Amino acid sequence: MTLDERLENVAVVGAAGKMGSGIAVLLAQEMAKLKLKSENRDRIYRLNLIDISERGLDGLRAYLRAQLTRVAEKSIVLLRSLYQDRKDLIENAEIINAFVVDATSFVNFTTDLNTVRDAHLVFEAIVEDERVKIKLFKKMKKLCSPDTFFLTNTSSIPIGYLDEQAGLEGRLIGYHFYNPPVIQRLVEVIHSKRTVSELKEIGAELGKRLRKKLVPANDISGFIGNGHFMRDGLFAISEVDRLKAQFRFPGAVYIMNRITQDFLLRPMGIFQLIDYVGIDIFQCILKVMRTHLDDKSLRSSLINKMVKLNVKGGQNPDGSQKDGFLKYEKNRPVGIFSLRRKDYFIIKDDWKKKIDQKLGPLPDGFMPWKALLTSPKKEEQLRRHFEALKKMDTLGAQLALRFLKKTREIGEKLVDDGVANSAQDVNDVLTNGFYWLYGPINDYV
């Protein structure tokens, strides 16, 4: 069965979640464009969006329409060619509306898992809990035909393990989109030893259709993205533990967050990133990796304390950031959680100024991440920035270079351990999936 044939009937399970909703948008737009081709006009298409939450599905309806409208606005030239036989569509707004109507006409929003029965492709994007996933896959195996292919968005659970436990006989592939899937270019693709060759080919072709950058990762828990992020986060936490005697806990968190964002030129600080992912999700992934890798170092008492205190981060339904290690107003950090007070320490200018003075200045000519992102001389400016850091005898420079070195060690170990096939694959994941300006495996230090 070709990819075109498989795209005639598709299901997304967990469709109302952060990842599932984005995957739904990508599939809806691709299926709509396919259906609009003259040779496919008489074919029947179905996209079943399945979730346990009725309220979530209501939100998904609105999200899908809004995102498809944006897609249509950006694809108006293509849509004019696809609608060239529709003489009633003249204005751009009419074409955009027609596309949204057509793209949603074959979408079914439901809480009934039985609707996966006729799907040729099933995308799974539920909670990162292997027991729940395995139970779901076992149910779907009974419901679906023997030639149905399954794609899981797991970010840490080995694909071979899921396949074996659910008895899917190689019909499962790891297809790890990054958040949000509509915007993020990266997809980590993970095959197990059992993955059938046809599914590998389908996955590769689908990635091209969706204009994603596919990076292969070997079937080792955490893969490349979380294999690096978890250890990066744990190192930041260890640095907080080392610094808190001098700066107290809120000060140490502030320092490491600023070091990673400003001194290391990342889009957000490490504790902002942990908050964005969700502290409870971070804990969950650590547990998965610790179990499958038998690595007891993948544990954090601090993360466990935060979750026990119900300080979890994550996002609100409208996409705004929930409080975690940091307190947010309009998605900007304004406070830091205090374990001692079990409340937020509000960042004041004089407090911030004192700590910044102890860190020392940024290198001369400093440019923030956003400015460097579009700079034509980005590589030259990055090299100059880190060369300057090496010449500075300040606490900030020392902490930044120490972190930079650790980050590289983590990346190199992913290659040595066979998680990644090459240093380039590690760098591609971090630059595309995490929006770093440079890969962790570099010669800056």
The whole-angstrom separation of Cα 342 and Cα 165 is: 41
Confidence of residue 41 (pLDDT cuts 50, 70, 90): confident
Mark whether 293 and 170 lie in a shared domain: no
Mark whether 212 and 229 lie in a shared domain: no
Mark whether 330 and 410 lie in a shared domain: yes
- Helix axes of 54-74 and 92-105: crossing angle, nearest 10 degrees: 140
Residue 323 reports pLDDT greater than 80: yes
- Share the mean pLDDT of the chain: 96
Query: Tens digit of pLDDT for each residue in 159-194?
Result: 999 999 999 999 999 999 998 899 999 999 999 999
Mark whether 184 and 245 lie in a shared domain: no
**Residue range(s) defining the domain that contains residue 91:** 3-216
The number of distinct structural domains making up the chain is 2
Is 166 part of any domain? yes
Mark whether 210 and 142 lie in a shared domain: yes
Residue 158 reports pLDDT greater than 90: yes
Is 413 part of any domain? yes
Residue 38 reports pLDDT greater than 80: no
Mark whether 166 and 271 lie in a shared domain: no
Query: Contact at 8 Å (CB) between 117 and 146?
Result: no
Q: Any residues with CB less than 8 A from the CB of 356 and at least 6 apart, and which? A: 258
Query: Tens digit of pLDDT for each residue in 257-282?
Result: 999 999 999 999 999 999 999 999 99
State residue 48's pLDDT score. Answer: 98
Mark whether 120 and 188 lie in a shared domain: yes
Is 438 part of any domain? no
Confidence of residue 42 (pLDDT cuts 50, 70, 90): confident
Mark whether 212 and 311 lie in a shared domain: no
Is 441 part of any domain? no
Is 343 part of any domain? yes
State residue 310's pLDDT score. Answer: 96
Q: Of 216, 245, 265, which one is at a domain's C-terminal end?
A: 216
Residue 9 reports pLDDT greater than 80: yes
Mark whether 163 and 185 lie in a shared domain: yes
Q: What percent of the chain has pLDDT over 90?
A: 94
Mark whether 273 and 316 lie in a shared domain: yes
Residue 84 sits in a domain whose CATH number is: 3.40.50.720
Is 251 part of any domain? yes
Residue 317 reports pLDDT greater than 80: no
Query: Tens digit of pLDDT for each residue in 213-229?
Result: 999 999 999 999 999 99
Mark whether 343 and 211 lie in a shared domain: no
Is 440 part of any domain? no
Q: What is the mean pLDDT of residues 182-211?
A: 97
Is 445 part of any domain? no
Residue 85 reports pLDDT greater than 90: no
Q: Of 197, 216, 235, which one is at a domain's C-terminal end?
A: 216
Q: What is the mean pLDDT of residues 190-200?
A: 97
Mark whether 121 and 104 lie in a shared domain: yes
Nearest to 126 by CA among 37, 255, 290, 13: 13
Residue 239 reports pLDDT greater than 90: yes
Confidence of residue 136 (pLDDT cuts 50, 70, 90): very high
State residue 55's pLDDT score. Answer: 92
Residue 283 reports pLDDT greater than 80: yes
State residue 58's pLDDT score. Answer: 94
Q: What percent of the chain has pLDDT over 70?
A: 100
State residue 319's pLDDT score. Answer: 79
Residue 396 reports pLDDT greater than 90: yes
Q: Of 216, 249, 279, which one is at a domain's C-terminal end?
A: 216
Query: Contact at 8 Å (CB) between 25 and 12?
Result: no
